[in-house]
Amino acid sequence: MTSPTDTTAQPSPQASGRRARTIAVTSGKGGVGKTFISANLAAALSRRGQRVLVLDADLGLANLDVVLNLFPKNTLHDVFTGKCDLEAAILPAPGGFSVLLAGSGLVEYSRLTNDVREQLLDIIEKMKPRFDCIILDTGAGISDVVLFAVSLADEVMVVATPEPTSLTDAYATIKVLATQQGRRVIKLVVNQVARAGEGRTIRGQLQQVIDRYVSPMLGDENESLKLDLAGEVPIDPAVREAILKRQLLMEALPGSPAALGVGALADKLLG
Ligand SMILES: Nc1ncnc2c1ncn2[C@@H]1O[C@H](COP(=O)(O)OP(=O)(O)O)[C@@H](O)[C@H]1O
Ligand SMILES: [Mg+2]
């Protein structure tokens, strides 16, 4: 339902009639880099010619606005309460993509009403014809709110760090996504790796545990859950530097190891 007066992300001819792929970025443990990856992946995809929308779907602890240094006048909260219309809440972000920010008022949605659920679903459906990719920056864990936000996306990307606590929580999240949402392929991003190849090792370890304990729970004998390594991003002081400067890493330090890692993630996503 694209209106001819839309000012953001005009459909490009080759993309008209297509609908955005939707990717939920989630994690087991908090603070592992979901928002950092969502924002910088969006910037990397935009550089590659994709029309990208990032939706701040971490409804309880939204902070995408801080990472992007935006002070939105209109947020999802205002859309939900009827204070502004959807178009007014879609903002251009520094990395060349569009954002729909949650706003701190959304804390009260830490329990989702049916009305908010329906509105979110409706917003994403309305946005699909206008973008190539919609990234949902969701919260951590397996609460109803997080699982609902993840359920809105076709693809799910779990972010984990090599820390044992993060991996245990990632495993718990992956198990719930497979058993409750019927996911059979889950993308894994290993963030803050200390050396190249760590992501591959961790994916292998998690896959082994999944094969042993999760896949047998999926009903049919032939069913299995596949963990797909979407990429690894090194631990890099440049990430903090950029956040302190309130800049996107992709813009401030595009040659830094973490930015290159996110770039490779974008390349892999685009196949
Ligand atoms: N690759 C990285 N290297 C170094 N620090 C990182 C990296 N990724 C994330 N961080 C740090 O972790 C913090 C939390 O990241 P954030 O994206 O806000 O996590 P989440 O959204 O999962 O809660 C960031 O502020 C940053 O300081
Ligand atoms: Mg976050």
Q: Would you state the torsion angle of the CA atoms of residues 125, 182, 264, 209, taken in this order, to the nearest 10 degrees?
A: 160
Q: How far is the CA of 5 from the centre of ligand 1 (A)?
A: 37
**Could you read off the pLDDT of 112-148 as tens digits, one per residue?**
888 889 999 999 999 999 999 999 999 999 999 899 9
Mean pLDDT of the chain: 91
Would you say the CB of residue 31 lies under 6 angstroms from ligand 1?
Answer: yes
- pLDDT-derived band at 13 (thresholds 50, 70, 90) equals very low
Would you say the CB of residue 189 lies under 6 angstroms from ligand 1?
Answer: no
DSSP for 100-163 reads E---GGGGGGGS--HHHHHHHHHHHHHHGGG-SEEEEEEEESS-HHHHHHHHT-SEEEEEE-SS
C-alpha to C-alpha distance for 40 and 59, rounded to whole angstroms: 20
Would you say the CB of residue 138 lies under 6 angstroms from ligand 1?
Answer: no
Would you say the CB of residue 33 lies under 6 angstroms from ligand 1?
Answer: yes
Domains in the chain (CATH in brackets) are: 19-263 (3.40.50.300)
pLDDT at 3 over 60: no
Q: How far is the CA of 222 from the centre of ligand 2 (A)?
A: 36
Q: How far is the CA of 115 from the centre of ligand 1 (A)?
A: 32
C-alpha to C-alpha distance for 211 and 233, rounded to whole angstroms: 25
Ramachandran sector of residue 9 (left: φ over 0; alpha: ψ -120 to 50; beta: rest): left
Would you say the CB of residue 124 lies under 6 angstroms from ligand 1?
Answer: no
Query: Between 144-151 and 164-181, two packed helices, what is the crossing angle to 10 degrees?
Result: 60
Overall average pLDDT of the 139-161 stretch: 95
Overall average pLDDT of the 224-250 stretch: 96
Indicate the range of 68-72, 170-174, 184-188 predicted with least confidence. 68-72
Q: How many CA atoms lie within 13 A of 40 on its CB side?
A: 32
User: Using CA positions, which residue lies closest to atom 14 of ligand 1?
Assistant: 31
Backbone φ, ψ for residue 244 (5° rounding): -65, -35
Per-residue DSSP letter, 243: H
Q: What percent of the chain stands above pLDDT 70?
A: 92
Would you say the CB of residue 187 lies under 6 angstroms from ligand 1?
Answer: no
> Locate tokens 């859950």: which residue?
225
pLDDT at 106 over 70: no
**Could you read off the pLDDT of 88-100 as tens digits, one per residue?**
999 999 999 999 9
C-alpha to C-alpha distance for 210 and 223, rounded to whole angstroms: 12
pLDDT for the residue numbered 108 = 61
Residue from 25, 32, 35, 36 whose mutation best tests the ligand 1 pocket (most atoms within 8 A of CB): 36
The runs of H, that is alpha helices, within the chain are: 34-47, 64-68, 76-80, 86-89, 114-127, 144-151, 164-181, 198-209, 237-244, 249-252, 257-269
C-alpha to C-alpha distance for 149 and 145, rounded to whole angstroms: 6
**Could you read off the pLDDT of 33-54 as tens digits, one per residue?**
999 999 999 999 999 999 999 9
